[in-house]
Amino acid sequence: MRPLRLEDAPDVFLMRSSTAVMTFTPSIPETDVEQSREWIAKCLERPNCWNFSMELLPRNIDDTLHKPRVIGVIGAIRTPEVGYMIHTDFWGKGYASEALQAFMPVFFEHYSGKEIYSFAEAHVDPEHIPSRKVLEKAGFMLLEVRKQDFQSPTLGMRDTCIYRLERPGKALETN
């Protein structure tokens, strides 16, 4: 993981132009790389947004033919809400789980000064089983299911599963 940069736009576009990746998000698939560049710029400007690139490094250090490639994005999208997306070529390989497990201690450390959050939340569609499994592997617990509270541009009105991970050392609160 490393901080998200404007230069990541071409790789981010490969994700954000995919119907499969964008199905359970509040956005429709993007049609050109400039839209991804604008999305990144807005992320970098918002004070409640703190995102990182999931970068796949070459298999060995001597591999000069392959440069690191951004395969996903993870971060605080509207603090304390966290989220992630990953390119379909890398689904089911454990990269999202690994990234989320690595990100959460960084999240709690980052938000331990003036802005302290006692928990992180993730909002996911009940039918998005792979994402729910990623959250559960990282220790998130299902807190509630909100009925018909999310308007998807492609799927219509949807329910939302609210997952929560408490700051280490703090007990789960249900209210």
Please, what are the domains in the chain? 2-119 (3.40.630.30)
Least confident among 16-30, 140-154, 157-171: 157-171
According to the model, what pLDDT value does residue 39 have?
95
How far is the C-alpha of 136 from the C-alpha of 133, rounded, in Å? 5
Confidence of residue 137 (pLDDT cuts 50, 70, 90): very high
Predicted TM-score of the model (pTM): 0.86
Name, in order, each residue with C-beta under 8 angstroms of 108's C-beta and a sequence gap of 6 or more: 117, 120, 167, 168
Which of the four pLDDT bands, split at 50, 70 and 90, describes residue 115?
confident
